[in-house]
Every structure is written in C-alpha cells, then in structure tokens.
C-alpha cells in the first residue's frame, strides 16, 4: 500500500449500475424487459452521465436523483417500454445496487492496513447512504462525499477539492479510483494519483490527462506500488 487515503467513485466503480435492469428483467412482473435489459442499462447510464455534464456546463444544476429519473425516462421511451410499474421498480432498485463481488474484501484490506477510505460521488447524500447500507460497507468508509455540497458535477476541480477539505491532506496522499475514464482523467489532471477500473476494456479517453493505473477490477487496489 503506497497511499494513506483511498477515494472511490461510487456508481460503476463500487456499485454495479447494470444490476437494476438485470434484476428487474428476471422478475415475473416485467417480461417485456427480458430481451432489452442490456440496452436499457447502457442507455440509462449514458443519458444519466450526459445530463450531468450538460447541466454542469450550462450552470443549471439538478441533483443526481433527478438526472437519474430523466435518463431513465428517455431510455424507456426510446425502448417503447411504457409501464409505470417498471419505471418505479427500476428507480427503487437503483437505491440498492449490487456491489461488485470484490468490494468488501478490498475495502477491508485497506482498512486493516491503516488507510482512510472515502466515496466521492455525483450521487445525493440520500442515494449514497442507501447504497452503502444496502451493500453492507458502512464500516469500511471514513467519509461519503456528495457533489451536492458544491452543486456541480465531476470532473470539476471543485468536486476533487472536497477530499482535501475532508481529510486535510495533500493531493499526493490520495489514490483516486473510478470506473469512468473521464473521471480518472479529471482526477489525474487535478493532481491525484489515479486508478481507472476499466472492466469493459475500453480505449483511454483523449483528454487533458490520463490515469496512472489501468485495472480490470478492484482486487489489486491494495497492492499498487
């Protein structure tokens, strides 16, 4: 372990954003989703992120719960899935997303080694509290930081400033971990050491900075040197 503070993005990094659509697709009440759930999950995530960026650029902030609903509404309309019950079920599942299988053990290793750990996320405090509780990882986190404290989405520097304000640390003390290449790039450009969890094997984003480490999952985070 080479850093004293480990900061994690939440959605897509610790929590599987595809799990809401996957779980609903297997439930008997929503057979119409069975053939479409991978596209629904992908489009929902894409529109959700696009809306955070567009609202940040335009200076018209709405919280992550709202952009999550807006992204889902666009997605369901595009897929011609009109059931109000399906919409409500997907939104409810988003508050209790599955954590990736390696999350608990990885965080436990960091805490056992004396590291401080945090989430830094676009999510609202309420959404994050629900996800952390549902995943059973509360005891492994020293802080859960939401962009609602600053009113702008990542990758704005003001968001990354929250880490130093919380821990009183230097940028060099931090390893920032995200599954979003643009988020890892933003944090690298800010001055953090970064790890991009590239589960899909995507190309590196052509931005102003690049991640320091590229991993396929979170298992080796405590082993980085």
Annotated catalytic sites, by residue? Answer: 9
Sequence-ordered list of residues with C-beta below 8 angstroms from that of 210, at least 6 positions apart, any chain: 185, 188, 204
Q: How open is the CA angle 165-211-39, to the nearest 5 degrees?
A: 100
Burial of 184 (0-12, 13-18, 19+ CB in 10 A): buried
3-state secondary structure of 149: helix
CA distance 110 to 96: 24
CA distance 68 to 163: 24
* b/e 146-181 (16+ beta carbons within 10 angstroms → b): bbbeeebbbbeeebbebbbebbebeeebbbbbbbbb
CA distance 22 to 33: 9
Give how far Cα 144 sits from Cα of 6, 123, 198, 214, Å. Answer: 12, 10, 23, 24
3-state secondary structure of 67: helix
């Amino acid at each position: 372990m080479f850093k004293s503070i480990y900061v994690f993005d939440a959605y897509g990094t610790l929590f599987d954003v595809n799990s809401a659509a996957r779980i609903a697709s297997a439930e008997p009440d929503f057979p119409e989703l069975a053939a479409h759930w991978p596209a629904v999950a992908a489009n929902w995530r894409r529109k959700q992120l696009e809306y955070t960026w567009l609202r940040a650029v335009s200076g018209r902030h709405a919280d992550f719960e709202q952009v999550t609903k807006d992204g889902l509404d666009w997605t369901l309309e595009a897929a011609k899935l009109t059931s109000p019950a399906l919409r409500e079920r997907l939104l409810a599942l988003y508050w209790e997303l599955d954590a990736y299988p390696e999350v608990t053990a990885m965080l436990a290793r960091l805490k056992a080694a004396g590291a401080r750990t945090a989430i830094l996320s676009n999510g609202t405090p309420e959404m994050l509290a629900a996800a952390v509780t549902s995943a059973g990882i509360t005891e492994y986190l020293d802080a859960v930081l939401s962009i609602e404290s600053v009113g702008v989405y990542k990758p704005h520097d003001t968001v990354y400033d929250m880490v130093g304000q919380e821990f009183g640390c230097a940028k060099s003390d931090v390893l920032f971990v995200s599954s979003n290449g643009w988020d890892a790039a933003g944090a690298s450009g800010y001055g953090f050491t970064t790890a991009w969890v590239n589960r899909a094997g995507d190309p590196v984003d052509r931005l102003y900075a690049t991640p320091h480490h590229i991993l396929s999952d979170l298992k080796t985070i405590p082993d980085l040197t």
